[in-house]
Amino acid sequence: MNTPYILVVDDDPALLQALPRTLDLRLNNIKVDTCDNAQKALELVPENDYDAIVSDVKMPGMDGLELLARIQELRPETPVILITGHGEHNLAIQALRGGAYDYILKPIDRDVFVAAVQRAVQTRHLRRQVEQQHLALSLHAKSLERLVQKRTSELVEANATKDKFLQIVAHEIKAPLSNLRGMAQVLHQQSEQPDNHLLVQQGLVDMERAVERTEVLVQDLLDTSLMETNMFILQRRRCDLVELCRHLLNSYTAGAGPTLTYEIIGKPVEAEVDEERISQVLINLLSNARKYSPKGSPITVTLQQSGYEVIISVRDMGVGIPPEAIAHIFEQFYRAPGVEVQSGSRPGLGVGLFITRKIVERHGGRVEVQSLPGQGSIFSMTLPLFIDPSTNKGEATLEPHTQAVWTIVH
């Protein structure tokens, strides 16, 4: 408990000396202020938060009852004990009705006086505790209110995202399913006719593409769900990123479709990555570049080492991204408005770049984009290099050094 702080107001010099001395002898660690009139007391009360105030009722000028009323206005929580003469019961009752905590009769009994002050101090301390608890409860209530508002906002946003998600999914899956149904009907009709081998073969190819597109959509949805529930797990191991890119681009350009037209292979660049997921990132960036650049235009993949990082960039000569859309390009379900697909049938779910960012960030890296409308885009994936403690001497070239370059035409 803090040191009790008492104010004694009395015009009797003898009592003004005796009462503080009594409190000091009977109570440990107590602080007492004194004054001989009510006017001086009213100057001290606003400046000091007293635990109790003791005042004589009968004083020249402003009496104790009027002082009590003024204290009630200034500090209503401070207990006030009034001293009345023997037989002045009406004054005592009037004091209690006016808000006094207690009254003491003259001649003053020291034990009664000290006990009354102790009770008043305890009451003030309890009131302070109640005030603090009330303040804490008020702050907690406001905190809960803000939390409820936040959660409500999140639920509203999540519900809106869900609705948007369902609309996009229904719209995107409807197209390949419609193609499959149409092709199945055509093949069923053509299978009854002779010499339709080529037509049936083309129909099967179209069906295979529709199935592949549906598989990509389902995989994107699955990856998005895993990331949102923190169940996305990487299988990382040490590998050569130059070889990983080379192998992926050879597979990507095999057969009909994009063609590899230029290749420079440099020294190995090692990192600890999930090869399947980093390949998924590259496929996403390549598919995005093809989708939004004119058919026949080049796409360049560059692998650079800069200090203890490796930068893999995919550059296209496509339509580019509006400046106002760049800040949102990696958000879930976001599609840049007014940007039309240049190659292919339709835009995707709007989760490819979202998944790309999440995968790279899980590797401790980052994804950045530079773009100008009409001049193409450069998507860069930066990953930490693998550092072998047994062979590394702490030396690294800070300037970007190109280790491999590939160019494809689609």
Answer yes or no: is pLDDT of 68 > 90: yes
- Can you state the angle between helices 89-97 and 64-74, rounded to 10 degrees? 10
pLDDT digits (tens, 9 = 90+) for 273-327: 999 999 999 999 998 999 999 999 999 999 999 989 999 999 999 999 999 999 9
Identify the pLDDT of residue 345: 53
CATH 3.30.565.10 fits 237-409, yes or no: yes
Name, in order, each residue with C-beta under 8 angstroms of 164's C-beta and a sequence gap of 6 or more.
333
CATH architecture of 5-108: 3-Layer(aba) Sandwich (3.40)
Mean pLDDT to the nearest integer, 365-374: 94
- Can you state the angle between helices 352-362 and 275-291, rounded to 10 degrees? 150
Answer yes or no: is pLDDT of 150 > 70: yes
pLDDT digits (tens, 9 = 90+) for 384-404: 999 877 765 555 556 678 899
Domain boundaries, the chain: 5-108, 160-228, 237-409
154 φ, ψ (degrees, to nearest 5):
-65, -40
Q: DSSP class of residue 109?
A: P
Mean pLDDT to the nearest integer, 66-74: 94
**Which pTM was predicted?**
0.53
Identify the pLDDT of residue 40: 95
Residues 44 and 70 sit within 8 Å (Cβ to Cβ):
no
Amino acid present at 129: Q
Q: In whole angstroms, what separates CA 301 from the centre of its chain?
A: 35
Q: Tell me if domain 5-108 and domain 237-409 are identical in fold.
A: no
By mean pLDDT, which of 67-71, 130-134, 204-208 is the weakest?
Answer: 204-208
Cα separation, 224 vs 359, whole angstroms: 11
Residues 289 and 314 sit within 8 Å (Cβ to Cβ):
yes
Residue 33 CB neighbours (<10 A): 16
Mean pLDDT to the nearest integer, 122-130: 91
Residues 347 and 335 sit within 8 Å (Cβ to Cβ):
yes
Identify the pLDDT of residue 347: 57
Give the closest residue to 376 by CA, choosing from 302, 299, 296, 312: 299
* 386 against 203, higher pLDDT: 386
Residue 389 CB neighbours (<10 A): 5
pLDDT digits (tens, 9 = 90+) for 13-50: 999 999 999 999 988 889 999 999 999 999 999 999 99
What percent of the chain has a predicted confidence (pLDDT) above 70? 85
In this prediction, residue 186 has a pLDDT band, given cuts at 50, 70 and 90, of confident
Cα separation, 151 vs 145, whole angstroms: 10
Identify the pLDDT of residue 209: 67
CATH architecture of 160-228: Orthogonal Bundle (1.10)
Amino acid present at 31: K
Identify the pLDDT of residue 286: 94
Residues 119 and 92 sit within 8 Å (Cβ to Cβ):
no
